[in-house]
A and B are shown apart, each in its own frame.
Chain A
Amino acid sequence: MFESLSTRVQDVFKSLRGEVRLTPEQVEEALREIRLALLEADVNFKVVKAFVDRVRDRAMDQTVLRSLTPGQQVIKIVRDELLALFGDAEGGLTKSAPVPRVILLLGLQGSGKTTTAAKLGMWLARQGRHPLMVSTDVRRPAAIEQLSVLGDKADVRVFTPDTMDPVARAGGALAEARAKGFDTVLVDTAGRLHIDDDLMTELQAIKDAVQPADLLYVADAMTGQDAIKSAGEFNRRVGVTGVVLTKLDGDARGGAALSVVSVVGVPIAFIGSGERLEDLELFHPDRIVSRMLGMGDMLSLIEKAEQAIDKDEAEQLEEKLRKNEFTLDDFRTQLKTIRRMGPLESVLGMIPGLGGLKQLADNKPDENQMGRVEAIISSMTPAERRNHTIINGSRRKRIAAGSGTSVEEINRLLKQFTEMRRVLQMIGQGGMPGMGGGLKIPKMPQKALGAPSGKRRKKGGPWGLIKTR
């Protein structure tokens, strides 16, 4: 599949090791790789062209060419320039708005407007606001009902007037909000093509009726080169204050986001990162840049872990680590947690430095092996799981028979487990020992975590186990 941009550029420079300087030709070769990678990430080709020119100017600088690590320098330039394109616009809603604030969601069919409306409703409620939602989608079958169902799930009120006139529905919701004291009105609209004149006129009428402070254009992260055409047209006809980028939980690189930001000039406000209603986050440029570059997405990994790991469970585990009470039972729970995070390969792929699966090919984590370990532990008695030291020869034979494995495998597991306990205990006590293998977990700035409860993952989470496996 996609080779990460960083790997590609590193490959170009790898052959040059030992040479004192880079030649402009070599830089050109690297630029070509960058160009291809960006195009594969669906960045608009005009944007790519201008971008590569800018990177070329900076990369041809003598200090880069003579640098000891020219490859990394070039990647850093790419990263900086990408971040610069996104600007320092913070995600989220516009800063000030009259009360009640009106948020209008617009976009093409199937981009995820209705789901985003419900997610945003929930997000606002968590911020202490009182949102009221209304659907003006009288075209798509069951769209109004969909918002009502989602509103129930998100525990956000949905205004359901009898009128089937989109403008009247939106206006009615605003009046309802004023009367009942809701401070935010979320208006979901029908998906429409930007070239559909009638529907664009309807959208303008809705806008005129409710005077939204935020006009959020909902865009599918998997959109290709057409992104700027549609976003640009929505912006021209109705005006857009921010973009919500949806379905970013797949493997789309989201290059369309860059196109929209740099060509249409509209900042990204939120990103949708999953199917649950909680899966809406403020946008952070650095994260999408890392993703586009294929440099690993540590934050997504942390989030995945947070989703998979029960907070209380994690705290109990830490307590156990400190007291050196980590048992085989806990080990099994940890294994299950890791598997809950998705296929092991994709989880590992998010770790910076382990980026390309290419390098992992020889050393593929074996999911079957994890299954066998689970089977072994499940074949033990509760007493054995609590205290592995009582597992003697005859118990090992029984466990091997029960789990369909061999005594050798039991021996290996117990040995590994003992070793792991030792290491985990050290981690639990704060000292991060050299775990070898270059699995470095960078320290993440607190604010980058985004989630309101963005508690930093403490050491002793599943990381240690991934490594030991």
Chain B
Amino acid sequence: MGFFERLRDGLSRTKQQILGRFDEIVEQAGAGPAAGRPIAVETVEALEELLISADVGVDATERIVGRVLERAGRGDSLRDLVKSEIRTIFEAVEPVPPANGHSPHVTLIVGVNGTGKTTTIGKLANLFKASGKQPLVCAADTFRAAAVEQLEIWARRADVDIVRARDGADPASVVYDAIQSGRARGCDPILVDTAGRLHTRANLMSELDKIRRVAARAAESAPHEVLLVLDATVGQNGLAQAREFTSVAGVTGIVLTKLDGTAKGGIAVAIAHDLKLPIRYVGVGEGIDDLVPFSAQEYVDALFQDKW
């Protein structure tokens, strides 16, 4: 299955709901907003509700709807306007920095508890392996019971090396070991799993800062990438998470997981808008292949495409 099919597969339920409601809205508005005709209040409200119910958030919704209204009535359909507005938001994010020759390339995976960090590492390792690389996973979640064992199983499935420590060990020291060992074994990239932590816990957050500092000592300018894993079901708190993790751990991108449910992960739109953070990958299932690189263009297209 190629990217598009997989994403489409994962998003089909999401799409049906958004699209279904969208057609309803346009229908309610009559034959659609004809040129010169103002859009009915009910339509605007329904549009707001549509975006709110996708967890896009109040602020981002107001901005999107506001801009859509400004441009409405010039012949474009409401759907095209919303679509282009969301795409514009995704397009305005910071570009993903090109792999700048760091070897090994160190990626830190961070996030609150239960978003799917360990699973994402397993899938990422598989993805890199499939593209001919030799990744090394590092089990730095020494807090949650059996987290290391969970990652070991994923490492076996993806057939990649793992550096682990015993439960309760200092995570920063495990990261240091992993980078040293990765270099010795010629592994690249190095994917670091960290313990889930709520962004409000100052002491746990400062642990991430320490991991960063120690990583930088083991490899020049490491970590080269910091991915925040967000659960697609997350509500407005996702924005707070993104903000805090970015300020402490220097997040460079988002992985949106569990997009195979009915949740739409609309918070990603708000995050892209407010923090200019790109979405790097999307998790669309429990299988090892169910992680796909994110493409804003195709994502928005998939959400709003007429027919599959």
Contacts and interface: CB of A to CB of B under 8 A. Distances in A.
B54 A146 contact: no
Given A142-B146, A153-B145, A226-B261, A250 B237 contact: yes
Contacts of B145: 145-146, 149-150, 153
A40 B49 contact: no
Interface residues of B, number: 48
A223 B232 CA distance: 9
Given A42-B236, A224-B267, A229-B262, A195 B13 contact: yes
A249 B113 CA distance: 12
Nearest to A249: B198
A308 interface: no
A161 interface: no
A135 to B, nearest CB: 11
A369 B13 CA distance: 54
A108 to B, nearest CB: 7
Contacts of A40: 57-58, 236
B96 interface: no
Contacts of B114: 109-112, 220, 247
B112 A225 contact: no
Interface residues of A, number: 48
Contact of B261 (A143, A194, A343): A194
B198 A250 contact: yes
Interface stretch (A87-95, A120-128, A252-260, A407-415): A252-260
A296 B115 CA distance: 28
Contacts of A463: none
Contacts of B52: 39, 45, 225
- B contact patch SS: loop
A268 B69 CA distance: 41
Contacts of A139: 286
A203 to B, nearest CB: 16
Interface in A108-164: 108-112, 139-143, 145-146, 148-150, 153
Given A45-B49, A112-B114, A247-B198, A226 B57 contact: no
B116 interface: yes
B225 interface: no
Contact of A222 (B57, B112, B116): B112
Interface in B225-273: 231-238, 240-241, 243, 258, 260-264, 266-267
Contacts of B258: 108-110, 193
Interface string A225-265: 11101100000000000000001011111011000000000
A143 B116 CA distance: 13
Contacts of A342: 200-202
B202 A223 contact: no
Given A111-B114, A153-B145, A247-B114, A193 B202 contact: no
A339 to B, nearest CB: 10
A74 interface: no
B188 interface: no
A141 B263 contact: no
B233 A226 contact: yes
A63 interface: no
B144 interface: yes
A269 B258 CA distance: 26
A351 to B, nearest CB: 16
B198 A42 contact: no
Contact of B53 (A36, A45, A140): A45
B237 A149 contact: no
Interface stretch (B147-155, B177-185, B208-216, B296-304): B147-155
B261 A230 contact: yes
B225 to A, nearest CB: 22
B55 interface: yes
Interface in A11-43: 36, 39-42
B231 A220 contact: yes
A1 interface: yes
Contacts of A247: 112-114, 198
Interface of B: 13, 49, 52-55, 57-58, 112-116, 143-147, 149-150, 152-154, 198-202, 231-238, 240-241, 243, 258, 260-264, 266-267, 286
Given A39-B52, A195-B262, A253-B237, 18 more contacts: A42-B237, A110-B113, A110-B114, A110-B116, A141-B154, A145-B145, A149-B145, A193-B258, A194-B262, A220-B231, A222-B241, A223-B233, A224-B267, A225-B54, A226-B232, A226-B233, A247-B114, A250-B237
17 contacts: A39-B52, A41-B236, A42-B237, A109-B286, A141-B150, A146-B145, A146-B150, A148-B146, A149-B145, A194-B262, A220-B231, A222-B112, A225-B52, A225-B55, A226-B262, A230-B262, A249-B201
